Every structure is written in structure tokens, then in C-alpha cells.
Amino acid sequence: MPRTRVVLLAVLISTQAGAAPPHMSDGMLVDDHGMTLYAFAGHGSPDATACEGDCERNFPPAIADPSDKPTARLSIIKTAKGERQWAYQGRPLHHGRMDKKPGDHQGDGLNGAWYPIRQ
């Protein structure tokens, strides 16, 4: 039985480590699970996030894995809590809590401020 647990743990670790960075799918930027990523039009300065409280509950940050590396358009910034968050061209990226399955983009245009990154 212990050997089975070790093998299962190894499989879980290998599938979680090094998740793919955000990428374009069907014309929108998505995470490694195909979930739409959003930016907030009201962020005053690039490379900073001001989404806390209710904002963070509805649009949680798109967290980068410790092994993730920036790309030409994707950077990694620090949240107020010190977490590594993906940013697209300096704009912090967030998930939409209202999205339930890959391809959903229910937060598009919410409060006139949230939008998915489109190709």
C-alpha cells in the first residue's frame, strides 16, 4: 500500500509542476485549464494590482507557479500578498469567478471595466 501512495503522489506532483503559462485559445488568453483570463481597465499603473476584497473574490489573481518564467508579452508581478501573478503587457491577469467551464467569459464588460485579453 505505501508504494501505491508514493507512485500516486509522484504522478500528482508531475502533473501539477510546471503548468503551462497563459496562451491564446479561440481568440482569448486562457490559463492552462482553458479558463478565460481578464484584465481590469482601471488599473492605474502597469505591473501593479489593486484588486483586493470583493474585487479579489470575484476576480482572483492568475497565480504563476514558482517555476514559471516571463515571456515576451507575459510578465510576472507580485500581488499585495506577495504571490506571483501573471500580467499581460503589464496588466495584471485575473480569473472570473462567474466562469464555470473553459471558454466562458461571463465577466466580459462587467462594470464597464473587466475584459478578456483578445487576439
Quick: pLDDT tens for 75-118. 999 988 899 999 999 899 999 999 999 999 999 998 888 999 99
**Do residues 74 and 39 lie in contact, with contact meaning Cβ atoms separated by under 8 Å?**
no
**For the segment 36-46, what is each residue's pLDDT rounded down to a tens digit?**
999 998 755 55
61 alpha-carbon distance from chain centroid: 6
The answer on pLDDT for 14 being more than 50 is no
SS3 content of the chain, % helix, strand, coil (to 5): 20, 25, 55
Distance from C-alpha of 4 to C-alpha of 1, rounded to nearest angstrom = 5
Say what the pTM is: 0.79
